[in-house]
């Protein structure tokens, strides 16, 4: 699994969209915590579905990243996440970009795997792909100046299997007649992220 680490942006001349499998780029983020108002964005990891992963590391306050922003905002490329609600919100907060269109494997799983309450990435990889991934580095210091090899491998694993998961979940959505519901949810996710940033995370604005 090739892993390329970039400082502050994707390099000039790297066109991930050109070779993207199913016209999707798998994306995840690592932050200092789960509160985007307090916990800064540290890393964005991306894969075009070809087995290679690109990591973009951010130093505190340095979020120019024109190449990455151009890709995230490209309406011709689907951005593929697991729990897109958080990722699109934190990238809106720190990169100022509206990330769309999106696909979320967690939402898709909740729509079709109603026989379980286990919708984490680790569970999906095991149940749908027979792949075991480690979450050991999940709570490590992503703001460190130098990332460890274990951190980089962990970050890469979070995007490496998303294309295969999407293919499995798309089949299940079609089988259960819920593709249209999934698409409606995906279309709403950027707005859901903005609502979270605006203070409507809890209680949910759609709650009673």
Structure confidence by residue, pLDDT tens digits, 164-192: 999 999 999 999 999 999 999 999 999 99
Expressed in percent and rounded to 5, the helix, strand and coil fractions of the chain are 40, 15, 45
Least Cα distance to 30 among 117, 204, 148 occurs for: 148
Range of the domain at 116: 3-197
> Does residue 202 lie within any of the structural domains?
no
Q: Tell me, what's the pLDDT at 22?
A: 95
208 belongs to a structural domain: no
Does 203 reside within a domain?
Answer: no
Is 134's pLDDT higher than 80? Answer: no
- Model confidence at 207, pLDDT cuts 50, 70, 90, reads confident
Domain count, the chain: 1
Question: How much is the average pLDDT of 136-147?
Answer: 85
Whether 136 is covered by a domain: the verdict is yes
Answer yes or no: is 59 within a domain. Answer: yes
pLDDT value at position 136?
A: 65
The CATH number that applies at residue 98 is: 3.30.420.10
Q: Is residue 182 part of a domain?
A: yes
Q: What is the pTM of this model?
A: 0.95
Mean pLDDT of the chain: 95
Phi-psi region of 96 (alpha: psi -120 to 50; beta: other; left: phi over 0): left
Residue 138 has pLDDT above 70, yes or no: no
Structure tokens at 43: 């890393």
Whether residue 68 contacts residue 95, with contact meaning beta carbons closer than 8 Å, is answered with yes
CB 201 within 8 A of CB 195: yes
Using an 8 Å Cβ cutoff, are 181 and 112 in contact? no
Residue 206 resides in a domain: no
Q: Rounded distance, CA 104 to CA 144, Å? A: 28
């Amino acid at each position: 699994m090739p892993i390329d680490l970039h400082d502050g942006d994707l390099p000039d001349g790297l066109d991930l969209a050109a070779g993207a499998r199913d016209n999707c780029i798998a994306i995840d983020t690592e932050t200092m915590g789960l509160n985007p108002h307090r916990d800064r964005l540290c890393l964005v990891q991306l894969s075009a579905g070809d087995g290679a992963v690109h990591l973009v590391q951010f130093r505190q306050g340095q979020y120019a990243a024109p190449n990455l922003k151009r890709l995230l905002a490209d309406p011709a490329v689907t951005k593929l996440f697991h729990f897109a609600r958080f990722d699109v919100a934190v990238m809106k907060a720190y990169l100022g970009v509206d990330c769309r269109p999106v696909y979320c494997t967690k939402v898709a799983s909740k729509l079709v795997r109603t026989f379980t309450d286990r919708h984490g990435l680790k569970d999906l990889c095991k149940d749908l792909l027979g792949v075991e991934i480690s979450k050991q580095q999940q709570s490590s210091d992503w703001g460190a100046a130098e990332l460890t090899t274990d951190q980089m491998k962990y970050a890469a694993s979070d995007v490496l299997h998303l294309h295969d998961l999407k293919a499995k979940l798309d089949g299940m959505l079609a089988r259960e007649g819920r593709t249209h519901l999934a698409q409606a949810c995906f279309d709403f996710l950027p707005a859901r992220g903005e609502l979270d940033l605006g203070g409507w995370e809890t209680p949910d604005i759609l709650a009673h």
